[in-house]
């Protein structure tokens, strides 16, 4: 149950008074000081009037990645031995949540070069991948219909590559580059994922 103050949610900062300890038990993100329950976090007051617990929801959710989850990330290393990914988002219940973790692609040769010996992913690329193994780092694959590069920059001049006749093209250098692109390459929502 969310405590109502009129019709507004009650937002508190650390040190704010939530109630007396004879009314409520101190819940999550609170502490008890001299029979008063005090917020220990920034967040929204949640008073459970059935169990008589006052707590503060600070909005931080623990995310547990699992196999088949879709992730978003940036290629940070791509050499003959390893492709490393800085993961920045994960899809949970159809929504992209912020999520930071390290990932890697093991079967590098699948994406690194195609039969024409051109690179199909590049350092800096924003990708959508799928988790195939959960360990200390997450193993990622780009094999799948929705998967691949979402945004990429020219390896020569760093301009954002645009999709032209099914291939990626740098309008600055007037040349194309090969990537394993996702079907929605350069959709506007991915521009803001760039940090």
Alpha carbons 128 and 71: distance in angstroms, whole number: 6
Single out the residue of 88, 154, 181, 182 in contact with Zn ion (rule: CB under 5 A).
154
Asked if 173 interacts with Zn ion (CB under 5 A), we say yes
Q: Does residue 157 bind Zn ion (CB under 5 A)? A: yes
Burial class of residue 15 in the structure, from the number of CB atoms within 10 Å of its CB (0-12 exposed, 13-18 middle, 19+ buried): exposed
71 vs 160: CA distance, rounded Å: 21
Task: Note whether 172 binds Zn ion by CB under 5 A.
Answer: yes
Rounded to whole angstroms, how far apart are CA atoms 147 and 110?
13
168 binds Zn ion (CB under 5 A): no
- For Zn ion, give the closer residue by CB, 126 or 168: 168
Among 61, 98, 156, 164, binds Zn ion (CB under 5 A): 156
| Selection from 58, 7, 49, 71 nearest residue 28 by Cα | 58
Which CA distances in Å does 155 have to 57, 127, 147, 176?
A: 44, 16, 21, 10
Q: Interface mask (CB under 5 A) for Zn ion, residues 98-137, using x and -?
A: ----------------------------------------
Q: Is 164 in the site for Zn ion (CB under 5 A)?
A: no
The CB-nearest residue to Zn ion is 154
Q: In terms of CB distance, is 38 or 168 closer to Zn ion?
A: 168
Question: Contact region for Zn ion (CB under 5 A) — 23-31, 64-72, 96-104, 155-163?
Answer: 155-163
> By CB under 5 A, is residue 160 in contact with Zn ion?
no
For the beta carbon of residue 126, count every other beta carbon within 10 angstroms. 22
How many chain residues are in contact with Zn ion, going by CB under 5 A?
Answer: 7
Distant-in-sequence contacts of 79-87, Cβ < 8 A, 24+ apart:
80/108, 80/112, 81/108, 82/108, 83/108, 83/111, 83/112, 83/121, 85/127, 85/129, 85/140, 87/138, 87/140
Q: Convert residues 3-42 into a mask of x (bound to Zn ion by CB under 5 A) and - (unbound).
A: ----------------------------------------
- Alpha helices, H only, the chain: 108-112
User: Is residue 82 at the binding interface for Zn ion, with CB under 5 A as the rule?
Assistant: no
Q: For binding to Zn ion (CB under 5 A), which residues are involved?
A: 154, 156-157, 159, 170, 172-173
């Amino acid at each position: 149950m969310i405590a109502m103050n009129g019709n507004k949610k009650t937002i508190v900062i650390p040190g704010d008074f939530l109630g007396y300890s004879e009314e409520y038990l101190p819940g999550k993100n609170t502490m008890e000081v001299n029979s008063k329950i005090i917020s220990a976090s920034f967040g929204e007051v949640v008073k459970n009037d059935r169990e008589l617990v006052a707590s503060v929801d600070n909005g931080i959710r623990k995310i547990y990645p699992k196999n088949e989850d879709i992730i978003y990330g940036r290629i940070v290393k791509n050499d003959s031995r390893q492709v490393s990914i800085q993961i920045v988002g994960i899809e949970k219940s159809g929504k992209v949540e912020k999520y930071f973790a390290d990932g890697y692609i093991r079967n590098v040769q699948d994406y690194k070069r195609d039969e024409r010996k051109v690179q199909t992913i590049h350092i800096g690329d924003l990708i959508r991948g799928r988790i195939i193994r959960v360990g200390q780092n997450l193993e990622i694959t780009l094999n799948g219909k929705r998967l691949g590069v979402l945004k990429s920059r020219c390896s020569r001049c760093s301009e954002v590559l645009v999709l032209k006749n099914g291939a990626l093209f740098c309008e600055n250098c007037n040349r194309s580059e090969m990537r394993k692109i996702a079907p929605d390459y350069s959709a506007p929502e991915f521009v803001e994922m760039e940090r």
